[in-house]
Amino acid sequence: MYSFKFALPTKIIFGVQEYENSLGAEAQKLGKSCLIVTGPNINSKTNYIRTAEAILKDRGISYDVFDGVEDNPSDTTIIKGHKLYQKIKADFILGVGGGSPLDAAKAIGILESNGGKISDYFGVEKVTKPNVPVICAPTTSGTGAEVTKYSNINVPKEKTKNLINSINICPTVAIVDPTLTLSMPSGVAAVSGVDALTHVVESYTCTFTQPITEMINIEAIKIIAHYLPQSVTLQNDFMAHVMMSYASMLGGMAINNAGTGIAHGLSFPLTAHYGVPHGVATGILLPYVMEFNMPTNYAKFAKIAEAMGENIDGLSLQEAAELAPLAVKRLFHAIDFRPRSLAEFKVTDAQIKKYADNLMSQKQKLANNPRMPDYDDIVRIAQQGRDIGIEY
């Protein structure tokens, strides 16, 4: 057995109605004033924030709501949230929503605990002081942000999407209550589930993989392959939502310790320049990244195919492995995943070549991919995502 490290600093509370049952007790441990961080849709179209307000009030905790978090939160949004945090003299943060509000909650905390500008922390382990306490309650089943050390922040002026990667920003508590995901429209459920699948496939096959994450990833792949179609097409299938919440959380635990690969690396400029939603970008690229990486470990890709329900009896290892990206495309068709290619975002060859140049100049971002791509590989994968997409 080779050596490895596995960290899970976040306390996880998983279960139906745990948002209502556990939030008060956990919040009371963290202070007397709370900044609730969320997005406008969560605040206006659900009762989740009103519920939190009532729970905090009952515990004698003052609060204010910052609901200005957009999809892919910007650096200016983080500054606004931090100003409100300081104005109300908050002791801790409650993030409620999908990956964007949860990322914003962590980033707002960084400015309070570490000072400076949020751009000071773009990169790996640049957050040197522990974050302020953060409770995360996810309302989607995709990012796993409730347990991760990551926060993705856009800088619109520079047209960049930037990753903060530090163990110091892992949330204090994750309250994963599947009932909060019932408000997801079917399209959001589809894209979120694809994001979760990309996490666990890339984490399972990446360079920094390890025994615990491999066990987690295979379990999550099985769950997503089985339950994602039901969570999208049968929105009243409560067990499907429970299991997808669980799989998404597992994915967060896995990428926290093993990371991801080039599907994620390529998705960042697509989001920053073209507004391609993160789950859409990674999902469209995933089958082609899998095909590129497959020769490094046919056995692992054969296990992915089997976990996704493909019959691999009587096949050679390579033949079985080649079913894995096909299984991914079949799953995407089963959930009517859209958009089906990057062509819908008018991605040009010139931009693809620019992205490839940028990635090749930052090879540390490629180090976790099991096979080191060159410039032509990056261009080809992106072009396949544009010209073929998820068709098969």
Residue with tokens 């520079």: 158
Taking the chain, what is the end-to-end CA distance rounded to the nearest angstrom? 39
Identify the bridge partners of residue 35 per DSSP, sorted by sequence position. 64, 93
Residues contacting 188, CB < 8 A, separation 6+: 98, 140
Going by the DSSP 8-state scheme, the letter that residue 132 receives in this structure is P
pLDDT in tens, the chain (392 residues): 578 889 999 999 999 999 999 999 999 999 999 999 999 999 999 999 999 999 999 999 999 999 999 999 999 999 999 999 999 999 999 999 999 999 999 999 999 999 999 999 999 999 999 999 999 999 999 999 999 999 999 999 998 899 999 999 999 999 999 999 999 999 999 999 999 999 999 999 999 999 999 999 999 999 999 999 999 988 778 999 999 999 999 999 999 999 999 999 899 888 888 888 999 999 999 999 999 999 999 999 999 999 999 999 999 999 999 999 999 999 999 999 999 999 999 999 999 999 898 888 877 778 899 999 999 999 999 999 999 999 98
* Maximum CA extent, the chain: 66
pLDDT at residue 1, as a whole number = 53
pTM greater than 0.85: yes
Helix/strand number for the chain, H first, E second:
15, 9
Cα angle 252, 253, 258 (rounded to 5 degrees) comes to 95
pLDDT at residue 392, as a whole number = 83
Q: How far apart are CA 120 and CA 270, in angstroms?
A: 23
Residues contacting 12, CB < 8 A, separation 6+: 147, 173, 174, 176, 249
Of 332, 94, 303, 336, nearest to 219 (Cα)? 303
